[in-house]
Chains A and B, each alone.
Chain A
């Protein structure tokens, strides 16, 4: 072993050991765990552990709460994801025009929700959504709408959480879009102008294609983030009403840390992993085609 390799080993050791022991090993163990019936009885006595192959998965796929939870999670991602992208792209376009003054100010303001603490703003939104004295219903009342029981009504609960998520997250994707926009050479717009393209045409034929890779990145990041939604329903609804806001991670948490069916919960986590992997692949495939 030469000196450089030795040095490299030394530099790598702490981080690799930490990541190996506290990330990769648990992930692999998580898969193993999902093939066992690790539960309450196992905590009382380890001899109560059995290898049960895929039974957790079979049981999961046959239970209605599993489909509800993953359905809710997908709903959240499929509505909230595009909504975040649209809002943030709009914000990025507005902030980035040549006419815009105080760019830095608006960028900071729009970005501020991103750094706020999710738990705290979930609590804030819970009150903004309050059916009786919440500001949202007050505002709607002025234009003759409502009142809506945002978090208590099964039809609106998840939508309310989506609105919170968009508010909290659009600043982040906005920043990425702004960077993407700034990478588009000005000449392309000039050329399109000469070809007679209006503002919409320039957006459609220059901006959108040039932002391609950014869309891919944004899509993956938002999807991965949103499929892991947990704190919002934990603080705001505890999964209710009628299980409409039970999400995949919430199900894992409840099964794992409330009922201590850890094998079963590990299977939930693994299926979530597969879904996230699939979402990433689909998005890459989709982007390649364009």
Chain B
């Protein structure tokens, strides 16, 4: 086979793969603009014949999906800010400050990476009940405010910040807080962006914990809300597709814009393991 034929075969395969990969997303978008019942006609319509926003209108006007949108956003934003702040503080301490028991404490933290979160979920729920945080935003937020993954990610990055820089600042009489805030954080900006992207998306997409802790519709996040909707509107394909679009699109767009940071996070996690 010559180079040209090879290239054609290769790119055809890649293109078919891309079409298969994108098809479910394409169909979701397409069906969300169809009139009720159009997605189930024979022969099938792949694109809406008379595109309409009726499904979205129904979601916002009658089913009040904006509420879930706000819940998802509030929870994801607060988790992101909190997690970046607390993880960067702890990551800095593990990377750059000497204190007794540092290695042991860090080793202990790493154990958490192989413990499935479900093991703690039942007691966590009972704890939240004691704290009166069941069915509140804080109940959904607090457990993700600091993650071992975030601390690990930031520590690895900060190890590469030259110690001399910090020593020089200390000699100039800068406080530890000042060093962290004005020297370390600006240097760590790329990894902070990575962690922020990562936390926002995983919080936005999270399902099981919000499902458990949020019992009332007024607090549902989008995934919980649409899972509940799909139990009721099984036959309203177009409506369900519109609600899926509303859930998926924000993170998908965010990913397209910030993919550099997001993938960097995955890689940082994978290189070390």
Contacts and interface: CB of A to CB of B under 8 A. Distances in A.
Q: In the complex, are there CB atoms of A and B closer than 8 Å?
A: yes
Interface of A: 3-5, 7-12, 14-16, 18-19, 21-27, 29-31, 33, 91, 94-95, 97, 99-101, 106, 108-113, 115-121, 123-128, 132-133, 135, 138, 167, 171-172, 175-176, 179, 213-214, 216-217, 220-221, 224, 227-228, 230-231, 234-235, 249, 252-253, 256-257, 262, 265-266, 269-270, 272-273, 276-277, 280
A118 B207 contact: yes
A256 B112 contact: no
B208 A230 contact: yes
Given A118-B205, A276-B114, A262 B24 contact: no
How many residues of B sit at the interface, in one of the four size bands?
A: 35 or more
A154 to B, nearest CB: 20
Contacts of A14: 85-86, 89-90, 146
Contacts, number: 274
Interface in B222-236: 222-224, 226-227, 230
Contacts of B124: 22, 26
Which of B117, B148, B201, B248 has the most A CB atoms < 10 Å from its CB? B248
Interface stretch (B9-17, B56-64, B187-195): B9-17
Contacts of A176: 266-267, 270
A228 B151 contact: no
A272 B176 CA distance: 43
B207 A119 contact: yes
* Interchain residue pairs A-B with the least CB separation, the first 5: A26-B120, A29-B123, A15-B90, A7-B176, A120-B244
A255 B40 CA distance: 36
A26 B129 CA distance: 13
B222 A26 contact: no
27 contacts: A5-B100, A11-B89, A11-B97, A14-B86, A30-B122, A91-B17, A101-B11, A106-B18, A112-B21, A112-B22, A113-B25, A115-B201, A116-B251, A120-B243, A123-B230, A123-B244, A124-B27, A124-B241, A125-B24, A126-B230, A175-B266, A217-B270, A235-B227, A235-B230, A256-B121, A266-B119, A280-B114
B109 interface: yes
Contact of B148 (A19, A128, A214, A262): A19
B50 interface: no
A110 B17 contact: yes
A7 B254 CA distance: 36
B116 A100 contact: no
Contact of B208 (A4, A15, A231): A231
Contact of A12 (B28, B89, B226, B267): B89
A176 B23 CA distance: 24
A27 B119 contact: yes
Contact of A30 (B6, B119, B270): B119
A99 B3 contact: yes
B263 A175 contact: yes
B103 to A, nearest CB: 13
A8 B237 contact: no
A97 B85 CA distance: 40
Which of A18, A33, A270 has the most B CB atoms < 10 Å from its CB? A18
Contacts of A11: 89-90, 92-93, 97, 176, 180
A19 B44 contact: no
